[in-house]
Amino acid sequence: MTSWILSSTVLIVSIIALRTLFKNRISPGLRYGLWLIVLIRLLIPFNIGNSSLSVLNVVPSNAFPNSSSANEVIITPFLTGEETTFEPFNANSENENELHPTDRATGTHTATEKSRTNYLLLVYVLGALCTIVFVLFSNIHFASKLRRSRTETGTFMELRVYSSELIESPCLFGLLPPAIYLSADIDTSQEKYVLMHERAHYRQGDHIWAILRSLAIALHWYNPLVWYAAKLSKQDGELSCDQKVIDSMMSEERLKYGETLINLSCISQEPLLCAVTPLSSKGKALKERVEYVAKRPYMLLSNMAAFILFAIIVAGCTFTGADASQPEYTASSAETIATTDSNSELEEKDGSGQSDSNKDLPGRLSSAILDRNGNVLNEENFPLYSSAASTFEEYLNAGSTISLTIDLEFQQQAQKILQDNLANLGASGFSGCLVALDVKTGAPLAIVATGEAVNPLTISFTPNHVFLPCTAVAASGEKLITADDLITCNGVFDRYIDDGVAPECWIHRHGGLSHSDENMETALRDSCDYYFYALGNDCGIDAIERYAHSMGLGVPTGIELPSSNGLMPNRETAESYGASWNIGHTLEVAVGRSFCSFTPIQLAQYCATIANDGQRYSASIIHEVTDSEGNLIYGHSPVLLSHIESVAPEEWEAIQHGMYLSCYESEGMYLNNDFSSSTDSLGNWRISGKISGTNDNSLLNEHIFIGYAPYENPQIAVAVVTITAEENGPAGQIAKDVFAAYKALAD
C-alpha cells in the first residue's frame, strides 16, 4: 500500500507541474484528459509490472511491505479475510522459541509492529467508509431535493431538461441517463448557452467522472493532494466544456457566452463530493474561463507532442513497480545474446540458415505496395504507407501487388520542398502537408506531410478566401450574376446591421478602406469579402452547400484510404449545436469561415474541378492490382463523380482568370503571393490559384494555397497547407516549387 500512496502522490505532483507548465499552451480538452491518468492510478492498488524507470527504485525496498522479502507482513486492505503473515521457523532448531537468523538480523514483525499495522489499517478503513457514506448522503440528498422541486420543460439533444426552484446553478445530474436541471429564474437569453454547456458535460462523460472522482477521494481520503487534484480536474472539466461550446460560435456569441459565465459566478456550488456538474465558477477559475472564451488561444502541435510525451513518461514512472533484478550488462553477454537470437531466427526460418524472406530473391516481389512506375513504397518514402497496408491487407495476404497512382520520384521531391521551406523558417515553421492530383483523371500524384499529427486525408482546415471561387460558382450556376456584373464594395456589408450583423471586408477591417467596383475576376483577384457577402446573401446557404458538394467539399473524394469528409455547414449544423441558422452564418460561409472545414485532399479535388470546368473526378489512389502470378485483376480508369453544367463557359473562364490574377496581379492581404518571380523555373507555365490564411497575428497561423498549372492546359492541381508562426506562411512558395518540380519531370 505504501508504494500505491507514494506513486500516486508523485503522479499528482507531476501532473500539476505539467498542467502549470503547459497551462495556456495546450487545449483545455487535452489538459482535462490528463486527469484520467491520475484517476486510473488512484483506482488501481497495484503496480503494472516492474520498470527501471519507476519512481519506486529510488526508495529503499523495505519501505514497501507488499513487495519486499517473504518474511514481512503483506497488507491487502481491499480483500476480505485475515491479514496474511509469514512466520519464519527454523526446523533444525532445538529450541522452538529461537528466532530465525533473519529475524535476529532485522528485528522484524514483533507484536508491537503488528499491532501498529493493524491500528493503521483500521483507521484507513474507517476513514474510507466515512467518506463513502458522506458521498452517498450528499448525492441522495441532492437527488431528493431535485425530485421534490423539478418540472420537466422538454428535451435538448436527447437529454431531458427540468426546471427547479431549489437549485441556484444549472447542472447535469444523474447516471442512467443524466438530465439537465435549470434554475427557475434563469434568463431566457442565457438558456441556450447553459444547455450547450451542460450537454458538453454529457458528451465528455462528466456524470461518470464525478462518481469515479468521489470513489478515488474515498480511497485516498488521507491525502490532501488527492482532494486538490479532484478540485483542479473539476475546473479543467468546466474549461473543456467551454472549449466545446465556443468552437461552434462566432465572436458575438462567444461574448454572450462569456457574459453568461460572469452572471452565474456568484451562485453557490455543490460540494466536491456531489456527482453534479454546475456551470458556475468563482475566483481564478472564473477568470481563466472568461479569458479563454475571449481569446481562445491556438494550441501548437509541438507543445501538444511535448505534453503527451511527458505525460507518457510520468505514467510509466508511476504505474510500475521497482525493478529489483536488472541483469548486469556486459559486452560479452550482449554478444552472446545477439549471437543466440540470430542463430535461433535462422533456425526458425529455414534449417539451412536461409531466411524465408530471401527465398524469392532475385525475382519479382510476391506481395508489395508500389508506385505507378513499379517503385516499392514503404514507411520512409510514403507517409500513408501504414494506412495503405492496413486497407489492402487482404490483397497483400493473398500475394497480390497493389500499384498506387503515386509517383515516387515526384513524391520525394515534393516532400523535400515542403521540409526545406518549413526548415528555412527555423523555430517559426511547425508543420505542413500537400496533395497533388492529376487534373485529367483525379488521381493522387503525391501526398506529403511533415511535422506532427498532420494527415492530409483526415485533418481539416478553415478555407477562408480559398472558398471564394465556390461562392462564385454557386451564384453563377443559380443565374444570380454574370461575369461582368459590378458590385460596389462599401467596406462594411451593413444590410442587416439592425439585426446585429455587419461583417467587414478585409480591406476595411485592416485599414478602414474599401475596394472599387468589382466584377467576378477582380473580386477574386482582390479577395473582396464584400462582393462575396453579396453573392452569399443572394444564393442562400442551401445553394452554396449544393455546389460545394458538387465540387468535392464536405463529401467523400473517392480515395480508398481512411479519410474525413470535412464539414460543409448547413442549417442542421447549427441545430446540432443547439443554435439556429441565421443570415450571419450564411455570410460567413460565403467567404469560407463559420463552420467550414475541409481536408487538403478535398481542397485539391475542388481546385481540379475548377480547372476542369466543373467536372469532378474520383481521387482513387489505386492504379492497378495484380495477383501473385502477375496477372492483372484490376485496372483503374477515371470516374466522373459530378459535373456542374449550369455555369456558362464564359463564367468558368472568369473564375479561372480571377484566380490567375490572384497569383500575378493581387493587391490582396497576402503580400508574398506573387508568382511572377517563378518565370525561370516554370518557363512558359502560368498558375491559377488562391491563397488564404488566418493572418491575425495569432501564435499559430494556418495558410492554404490551392492552384493548378499550366493555366492554359491544366495538368496538375495542388493544395498546400502550412502551420507556422509567420503572418504570411510559405504555402505559395511551396506550391511554386512543386509545380516547377513536376514540370521538370514531365519535360
Contact at 8 Å (CB) between 643 and 502?
no
pLDDT class for 667, splitting at 50, 70, 90?
Answer: low
pLDDT of residue 89: 30
The rounded percent of the chain whose pLDDT value lies above 70 is 75
DSSP structure class, residue 677: G
Instruction: Please report whether residue 344 resides in a domain.
Output: no
Regarding predicted confidence, which is higher, 542 or 50? 542
The whole-angstrom separation of Cα 289 and Cα 640 is: 49
Instruction: Please report whether residue 371 resides in a domain.
Output: no
Please classify residue 540 by burial: count the beta carbons closer than 10 Å to its beta carbon, then call 0-12 exposed, 13-18 middle and 19+ buried. middle
CB burial of 124-146 (b: ≥16 within 10 Å; e: otherwise) equals: beeebeebbebbeebbeebeeeb
The whole-angstrom separation of Cα 671 and Cα 659 is: 15
Strands 50-51 and 321-322: parallel
Residue 458: closest CA among 584, 649, 599: 599
Q: Look at residue 185 and tell me whether its pLDDT is greater than 80.
A: no
* 568 and 706 inside one domain: yes
The whole-angstrom separation of Cα 217 and Cα 228 is: 10
Instruction: Please report whether residue 486 resides in a domain.
Output: yes
Distance of CA 310 to the CA centre of its chain: 18
Angle, to 10 degrees, between the axis of helix 111-149 and the axis of helix 206-219? 150
Instruction: Please report whether residue 723 resides in a domain.
Output: yes
Lowest mean pLDDT among 29-38, 246-255, 540-549, 642-651: 246-255
Please classify residue 638 by burial: count the beta carbons closer than 10 Å to its beta carbon, then call 0-12 exposed, 13-18 middle and 19+ buried. middle
Residues 6+ apart with CB under 8 A from 716: 436, 437, 438, 439, 445, 708, 709, 739, 742
Distance of CA 245 to the CA centre of its chain: 16
Contact at 8 Å (CB) between 407 and 701?
no
Instruction: Please report whether residue 67 resides in a domain.
Output: no
Regarding predicted confidence, which is higher, 182 or 485? 485
Q: Look at residue 474 and tell me whether its pLDDT is greater than 80.
A: yes
CB burial of 697-715 (b: ≥16 within 10 Å; e: otherwise) equals: eeebbbbbbbbbbbbeebb
**Domain termination site, one of 301, 333, 362:** 301
* 287 and 427 inside one domain: no
Q: Look at residue 345 and tell me whether its pLDDT is greater than 60.
A: no
Residue 299, phi-psi category: left (phi > 0), alpha (psi -120 to 50), beta (remainder): beta
pLDDT of residue 325: 46
Q: Look at residue 353 and tell me whether its pLDDT is greater than 60.
A: no
pLDDT class for 109, splitting at 50, 70, 90?
Answer: very low
pLDDT of residue 699: 64
Contact at 8 Å (CB) between 500 and 252?
yes
Note down the domain range covering 192.
125-301
* 294 and 423 inside one domain: no
Domain count, the chain: 2
H runs (alpha helix) in 516-599: 520-526, 529-539, 541-550, 571-576, 583-590
**Domain of residue 558, CATH code:** 3.40.710.10
Contact at 8 Å (CB) between 491 and 597?
no
Q: Look at residue 350 and tell me whether its pLDDT is greater than 50.
A: no
Residues 6+ apart with CB under 8 A from 565: 554, 555, 556
The model's pLDDT over 519-543, given as tens digits with 9 standing for 90+, comes to: 999 999 999 999 999 999 999 999 9
| Listed ranges 226-240, 496-510, 643-657; the one with the highest mean pLDDT | 643-657
Instruction: Please report whether residue 110 resides in a domain.
Output: no
The model's pLDDT over 255-280, given as tens digits with 9 standing for 90+, comes to: 777 777 776 665 555 555 676 666 65
The whole-angstrom separation of Cα 406 and Cα 450 is: 17
Instruction: Please report whether residue 516 resides in a domain.
Output: yes
The whole-angstrom separation of Cα 729 and Cα 284 is: 36
Backbone angles phi, psi at 490, to 5 degrees: -100, 5
Q: Look at residue 732 and tell me whether its pLDDT is greater than 80.
A: yes
pLDDT class for 564, splitting at 50, 70, 90?
Answer: very high
| Rounded mean pLDDT, 390-396 | 91
Q: State the residue for C-alpha cell 460572469.
A: 262
pLDDT of residue 557: 96
Please classify residue 372 by burial: count the beta carbons closer than 10 Å to its beta carbon, then call 0-12 exposed, 13-18 middle and 19+ buried. middle
Q: Look at residue 180 and tell me whether its pLDDT is greater than 60.
A: yes
Residue 709: closest CA among 673, 684, 676: 684
The whole-angstrom separation of Cα 430 and Cα 412 is: 19
CB atoms within 10 A of CB 304: 17
* 419 and 295 inside one domain: no
pLDDT of residue 265: 60
CA angle, residues 48, 53, 59, in degrees to nearest 5: 90
**Domain termination site, one of 301, 333, 352:** 301
76 vs 45, 56, 60, CA distance in Å? 9, 19, 20
* 134 and 267 inside one domain: yes
Lowest mean pLDDT among 1-15, 45-59, 305-319: 45-59
Q: Is the peptide bond before 556 cis (omega within 30 degrees of 0)?
A: no
The whole-angstrom separation of Cα 182 and Cα 179 is: 10
Count helices and strands in the chain by DSSP H and E runs: 26, 19
Residues 6+ apart with CB under 8 A from 98: 90
Instruction: Please report whether residue 153 resides in a domain.
Output: yes
pLDDT class for 449, splitting at 50, 70, 90?
Answer: very high
H runs (alpha helix) in 186-330: 188-203, 206-219, 224-246, 251-263, 283-295, 301-319
* 441 and 296 inside one domain: no
Mean residue pLDDT across the chain: 79
Query: Sign of the C-alpha dihedral, residues 161, 163, 169, 174?
Result: negative
Residues 6+ apart with CB under 8 A from 287: none
Residue 577: closest CA among 205, 278, 212, 196: 196
pTM: 0.55
* 284 and 424 inside one domain: no
**Domain termination site, one of 278, 301, 324:** 301
**Which three-class secondary structure state does DSSP give residue 501?**
strand
pLDDT of residue 738: 96
